[in-house]
Amino acid sequence: MQRLANPAQFLRLSKQLQPWLAAASVLLIGAGLYFALLVSPADYQQGQTVRIMYVHVPSAWLGMVGYSTMALASAVGLIWKHPLADLVAKAAAPIGASFTFLCLATGSLWGKPMWGTWWAWDARLTSMLILLFLYLGYMALQSAFDDPSRGARASAILALAGFINVPVIKFSVDWWKTLHQPASLLKVSGPAIHPAMLTPLLLMVTGFTCFFVVVLLIRVRSEIIASKIRAIRLTQIHGTREEPLADHAVG
């Protein structure tokens, strides 16, 4: 962790991993779409509408993974002051928000033919909507202060406070009576999905996760470069040198 907190080391490692992860995401998502659209059968109750699941479920998963990443990085930034932690949290926020929005949109597309409505104040849906608002609030706080360090600190506190919503999303179908179906993938007894549907779903979840990591690496690298440019501009304006993040090492 100390080595990864060194921005120069992170840049080298991300440059090596990025093409492999990008290739994996393309292959996995391509294979997942093939099996999802052409091989897997229609559901006996949902019909062809079930194919929305192959985008909806990975999006919901990454909405929660994105927020968990953001909260973990925020905690590391607040406690250990790692130079990359705040940048990772900042980079993860718009990615996670995008997947959360995609989850809500695909859920609405599925809900109209199955429930007869685009939206219902179901516990799972409502908690996912709250997650989207938490993402938006985090990004708003990031840019609400002239001092980036104050914005990072305030948004980190919000990220940690809002993390309680993640287990609420996961267990909402168990704690309350909801319209949403119970968990069928992550179960102690094993997945309750037919292998013909489970295969493309797992391919899509893995491919989306690789894509998430690729975009996160790109955004963190961009934040590091932006920090270096900002330091150079401050030097030119004030005549004093602020140490750029890319040159900073920890430990």
pLDDT tens for residues 66-108? Answer: 999 999 999 999 998 887 899 999 999 999 999 999 999 999 9
Q: Provide the pLDDT for residue 204.
A: 97
Which pLDDT value is given to residue 250?
40
Look at residue 61 and tell me whether its pLDDT is greater than 90. Answer: yes
- Please check whether residue 154 is in contact with residue 87, taking contact to mean a CB–CB distance below 8 angstroms: no
Mean pLDDT of 172-199: 69
Does this model's pTM top 0.85?
Answer: yes
Domains identified in the chain and CATH numbers? 18-177+189-221 (1.20.120)
b/e per residue, 40-75, with b = 16+ CB within 10 A?
beeeeeeeebbbbbbbbbbbbbbbbbbbebbbbbbb
| Separation between Cα atoms, residue 245 and residue 228, nearest integer Å | 6
Q: CB–CB of 207/23 below 8 Å?
A: no
Q: For residue 228, what pLDDT is reported? A: 82
Model confidence at 120: pLDDT above 70: yes
Q: What is the 3-state secondary structure (H, E, C) of 175-231?
A: HCCCCCCCCCCCCCCCCCCCHHHHHHHHHHHHHHHHHHHHHHHHHHHHHHHHHHHHH
Q: Across the chain, what does the average pLDDT equal?
A: 87
